[in-house]
Chains A and B, each alone.
Chain A
Amino acid sequence: MKQFFLLLLGIAGGVGLGLLIGWWLWPVTYTNTSPANLRADYRDEYIRLIASAYAVDGDLGRAEDQLAQLNPEEPNVPLVTLAESLIERGAPSSVIIPLVQLARDLGTVTVVMEPYVQGGHP
């Protein structure tokens, strides 16, 4: 009985030691993450940056690769989602147009975006 108690005590101590190591002595350091792990506001900012940079360098392949870092299966989805969300929230045209232009060049313009195609204003 005493031995069983000591075994349980050891297990409890071991779990405690493991957590002590994992959480306090040697805690997880969040490094080497990817854009897919970014907080929602930074993800949105990342998409905006991709669109603005595309407006300068015109490198569609690169822009697509960068979008794929957020959603490898459907790289255009985050872009379309953000563009539509900003349009619904009434964001300034200067913010929306680069996103719509990139979406247009990637062939994913939706009905909501139509008024902004060709740099137009709704």
Chain B
Amino acid sequence: MKRGIVFFLVGLILGTAGALVYAWLIDPVAYYDTTPPLMRADYQETWIRLSVLAYGAEGAMERTRLRLSGLPEARVRAVLERTLEDVVAEGRPLTVLQRIAELAKLYGLDTTSVRIYTDSGEFELTPDTVTLVPFTPTPSATPSPLPSPTLTLRPTLTHTPSPPTPKPTFTASPVPSPTPTRVFTSPYRLLEQSPMCKTRPVITLTVVREVTQTVRGREQLEQVGVPGLEVWLLWDDGADHAITGLRPDEGLGYADFAVEPERTYNLYLASPMGVPVASLHVRPCTGTEQGAWMGWSLLILQQVP
């Protein structure tokens, strides 16, 4: 009887081994007809990034939702956030930025870039700086086709959650008018953007306006610094601001910021809303200046309407 059990066990081992050799070596599992959620993590991230960029190009929301369905939401959010920061830093077209920010918002992201490009009208900075009250388009008895939004700055030292803001309402008017549209026409234009390699990176800027001066009977166009202008620098989780002209030895339109390496900054003038004047990434310098970081020097023109 004992011998019989031994034969049975030997057979069992041989059978199991044979089945495993067949399953693992002779005819191993072939992966085909899989779906994106079954892909390796890095391929999933590529799929998500491509879907996000494609949404930026096409704007097909339902299709994008389908493309992203079944993928881990945390991964989608992380890649979405990264992709949005990348396209902002690369200076992609505004429609692309707005679409991707809109998608990011739908997935519950609430970063500075999302707030800027979704243009929700609600903009809250870090508690120790200032809170910006949402813009409220000013209704008038005879509304103009393009009501200009006004922005009120209200400095505060403590963080107070902003109350729910009523949607802007426009009073009815007997005169038919087109749907109010907010148009961003920045009065500031970036003329020059030069890299500067320093061990402690800085972003410096000079804001100028063009004036016509008559010299010996001839008219000349000259650039003069614009003092007293508020400059905002926004990044992922913070903001800073400065006023031009506080260092007159550098020029009336001059302001600067100390910045951190490997960070992307959006620069705004007058108010931190709408489209940034410049998006700047502080990256390592290469070549002979290794160890230094690439800051930026900007020359910005204030266009007089």
Contacts and interface: CB of A to CB of B under 8 A. Distances in A.
B11 A45 contact: no
Best-surrounded residue of B40, B46, B56, B87 (most CB of chain A within 10 A): B46
A17 B43 contact: no
B47 A18 contact: no
B19 A56 contact: no
A98 B60 CA distance: 15
B9 interface: yes
Interface string B86-116: 0100101000100000000000000000000
B4 A33 contact: no
A6 B272 CA distance: 83
Interface string B40-54: 100100110111011
B7 A33 contact: no
Interface string A5-30: 01111111111111100100000101
Chain B's interface size range is 35 or more
A118 interface: no
Nearest to B56: A56
A48 interface: yes
Contact of B40 (A3, A6, A33, A49): A33
Contacts of A31: 38, 40
A67 B32 CA distance: 17
Given A9-B8, A49-B47, A34 B39 contact: yes
B3 interface: yes
Best-surrounded residue of B11, B51, B53, B56 (most CB of chain A within 10 A): B11
Contacts of A19: 19
B172 interface: no
Contacts of A9: 8, 11
A3 B3 contact: yes
Contact of B39 (A3, A35, A45, A94): A35
A66 interface: yes
B11 A8 contact: yes
Contacts of A40: 33
A113 interface: no
Q: B-side binding surface: helix, strand, loop or mixed?
A: helix
B43 A7 contact: no
Nearest to A8: B11
Interface string B259-299: 00000000000000000000000000000000000000000
A11 B12 contact: yes
Contact of A17 (B15, B51, B92): B15
B23 interface: yes
Nearest to A45: B67
A3 B1 CA distance: 10
Given A15-B18, A19-B19, A39-B33, A53 B12 contact: no
- The 4 A-B pairs with the shortest beta carbon distances in the complex, nearest first, are A10-B11, A14-B15, A18-B19, A52-B54
Interface of B: 3-5, 7-20, 23, 29, 31-36, 38-40, 43, 46-47, 49-51, 53-54, 56-58, 67, 87, 90, 92, 96
8 contacts: A6-B11, A14-B15, A15-B18, A32-B40, A40-B33, A56-B54, A56-B96, A66-B46
